[in-house]
Structure 1
Amino acid sequence: MIYFPYFRGRQYDLLALKNIAQQHVLPPNIIPIIEPVRDIRALPQTVAAFVAHGQPLVVIANPTVSDYALTQQKLYDCRPYATNPHLIVGHVLTPTTIPEHLTAAPNHRTLLVARQYDELVAADQSGWLTAPTYLLVPPEARIRQLLDRPSVSLFDHAWVPEHDRSYADIVDGFFSDDWAIAALDGYQGVSDYTIGGAHYSEHGYPARAVTLHLTYFAGDQLRIHRFVSDDRTDFRHPKEKFFQAVSKLAQWLPKQAVAVQTPAAQTLAAYHEQHHFPGLGVVKRLSLEHHLQTMAAYFKAHYPV
């Protein structure tokens, strides 16, 4: 079983991945995917960290959710690492994809992300789907019937409240158990957009509440707990709202199993005692690091390689 956590290459996503690579906690069957969205120094630094520690990583060569692919002269290019065997070249299947995108040099793996059934049909009829090492597809019955090769299910499990709702409406809930049922459906692995979700916004958007997200296992089921600030009336005072949210985390965490108390979660909880506001970007980074540390421990125990 392989897990492909899918990240959009924002600053704090990349910093979380870089730290995880340096901690060397990921087993070989957890392979992060980066779809670059900005020309920033953190991208090649993250790739370099994975390469230096001999850990596999996927970088999407034709990102589709920002204008990064249209930038001709990139200041921070990760292509110098393209020939490294630890770097898996990924492509998103589009009408402009060509067979050369899906093949690689000997001993070099490739990955194809196919999000649309009609495009998959066309690629299958052209005989392209046998070329990439890994094929990520939506977990749909008609797609499973179409394919005659192992694939990886890609699904967005993140819930984002709309309109007048908030994360306080569902503070604890189911997140995923894809790995537990993947083999029954013939998948060789699973992929998701972690706690960040598939939606991408170039500039982000303000929130009335500050919410901390922590995933944790209950048996084979991954759940998510949300610590939401009590003040949700306007968009002001993020610092004070953070302290409201982190105080709830600091009370909750010591009552959980040791596996839930990852280094990243403990760092978050310590901000309550320190009465320190590190900034919401750092909070996001630590939440992502916690998720990867949690998944790493589970996969090492249940899917050793």
Structure 2
Amino acid sequence: MMYFPYFRGRQYDLLALKDIAEQRCLPPNIIPIIEPVRDIRALPQTVAAFMAANHPLVVIANPTVSDYALTQQKLHDWHEWANDPHLIVGHILTPTTLPDDVTPSPDQPTLLIAHHYDELVAVQHAGWLESPTYLLVPPEARVRQLVSRSSISLFDHAWLPDHDQTYANLVDGFFSDDWVLADLLAYQGVSDYTIGGHYYSEHGYPAKAVTLHLTYFAGEQLRIHRFVSDDRTDFSHPKEKFFQAVAKLAAWLPQQPTAVQTPAAKQLAAYHEQQHFPGLGVVKRLSLVHHLQTMAAYFSQHYPT
């Protein structure tokens, strides 16, 4: 069983991945995917950290959710590692994707992401569906019937409340048990957009509440707990709202099993005692590091390589 956590290449996503690579805590069957969205220094630094750790990493060569792909002159390029055997070049299936894009060289693995059934049908008719090393597809019955090879299911589990709701309406809930279904349906692995979700905005969006997200396992089920600030009336005072949210995390965490108390979660909780506001970017980074540390521990135990 493999796990491909999918990240958009924002600053805090990349810094979380760089931290994890330097910790060298990921088992080899957890392979992160980066879809670059900004020309920032953290991108090549993160790729370099994974290559130095000899850990596989996927970088999408044709990102589709930002104007990064249209930038001709990159200041911070990752292609100097394109021939490293641990670097897996990924491609999102689009009308302009060519067979040569997804045909691996003998020493270079590739990954293809297909979001829609019709695109897969067209690729199958063209005769080059079997070329990529890894194939990510939506977890649909008709896709499983179409694709004869072992594939990886890609699904978005993150919940984004609409304008009439907040995360306070669902403090604790189910997140995923894709690996259980993958065993039953003969998937090679699973992929998701972690706690960040599929939705991407170039400039982000304001929120009236500060919410901390922590994933944790209950048996084979991954759940998510949300710590939401009590003040949700307007968009001001993020520092004070953070202290309200992190106080709830600091009270909750010591009551949980040791596996939930990851180094990243403890670092978040420590901000309550220190009464220190590190900034919401650091908070997001640590929440992602916690998720990866949690998944690493679970996969190391249940799917050892």
Which residue is 2:160 aligned to? 160
**AA in 2 matched with 1:197:** G
* Counterparts of 2:164 and 2:263, CA distance in 1: 34
* Counterparts of 1:107 and 1:83, CA distance in 2: 8
What is the CA-CA distance between 1:104 and the residue it aligns to? 2.1
Which residue is 1:221 aligned to? 221
The answer (yes or no) to whether the contact 2:138–2:153 under 8 Å persists in 1 is yes
Which residue is 1:110 aligned to? 110
TM-align CA RMSD: 0.5
Among the aligned pairs, what percent are the same residue?
Answer: 78
* Counterparts of 2:164 and 2:229, CA distance in 1: 15
**AA in 2 matched with 1:143:** V
**AA in 2 matched with 1:227:** F
Is residue 2:131 matched to residue 1:143?
no
* Counterparts of 1:301 and 1:6, CA distance in 2: 22
* Counterparts of 1:243 and 1:12, CA distance in 2: 20
What is the CA-CA distance between 1:127 and the residue it aligns to? 1.1
* Counterparts of 2:103 and 2:24, CA distance in 1: 29
What is the CA-CA distance between 1:65 and the residue it aligns to? 0.3
Which residue is 1:269 aligned to? 269
| Structure 1 alignment gaps of length 5 or more | none
**AA in 1 matched with 2:211:** T
**AA in 2 matched with 1:7:** F
Match of 2:273, SS state, is helix
Is residue 2:97 matched to residue 1:76?
no
**AA in 2 matched with 1:209:** A
* Counterparts of 1:274 and 1:172, CA distance in 2: 26
Match of 1:196, SS state, is coil
**AA in 1 matched with 2:150:** P
| Structure 2 alignment gaps of length 5 or more | none
Is residue 2:250 matched to residue 1:250?
yes
* Counterparts of 2:141 and 2:289, CA distance in 1: 33
Stretch deviating more after TM superposition (79-88 or 100-109): 100-109
* Counterparts of 2:15 and 2:127, CA distance in 1: 38
**AA in 2 matched with 1:114:** A
Deviation by residue 1:270-296 (Cα, 9 ceiling, x = unmatched): 000000000000000000000000000
Deviation by residue 1:164-219 (Cα, 9 ceiling, x = unmatched): 20000000000000001102112100000000000000000110000000000000
User: How many residues end up aligned between the 2 structures?
Assistant: 305
Which residue is 1:292 aligned to? 292
Deviation by residue 1:240-293 (Cα, 9 ceiling, x = unmatched): 000000000000000000000000000000000000000000000000000000
**AA in 2 matched with 1:108:** Q
* Counterparts of 1:159 and 1:77, CA distance in 2: 32
**Runs (4+) of structure 1 moved beyond 3 Å?**
none
* Counterparts of 1:105 and 1:270, CA distance in 2: 48
Is residue 2:1 matched to residue 1:5?
no
Kindly report which structure 2 residues correspond to 1:40-55, keeping only aligned pairs within 5 A, or say none.
40-55=40-55
Which residue is 2:96 aligned to? 96
Match of 1:160, SS state, is coil
What is the CA-CA distance between 1:156 and the residue it aligns to? 0.1
**AA in 2 matched with 1:263:** P
- TM normalised by structure 2 equals 1.00
Which residue is 2:181 aligned to? 181
* Counterparts of 2:273 and 2:174, CA distance in 1: 29
The answer (yes or no) to whether the contact 2:104–2:133 under 8 Å persists in 1 is no
**AA in 2 matched with 1:140:** E
- TM normalised by structure 1 equals 1.00
Which residue is 2:65 aligned to? 65
**AA in 2 matched with 1:44:** P
Match of 2:173, SS state, is strand
* Counterparts of 2:128 and 2:115, CA distance in 1: 15
Deviation by residue 1:32-67 (Cα, 9 ceiling, x = unmatched): 000000000000000000000100000000000000
* Counterparts of 2:170 and 2:22, CA distance in 1: 34
Match of 1:194, SS state, is coil
**AA in 2 matched with 1:258:** T
* Counterparts of 1:139 and 1:270, CA distance in 2: 39
What is the CA-CA distance between 1:85 and the residue it aligns to? 0.3
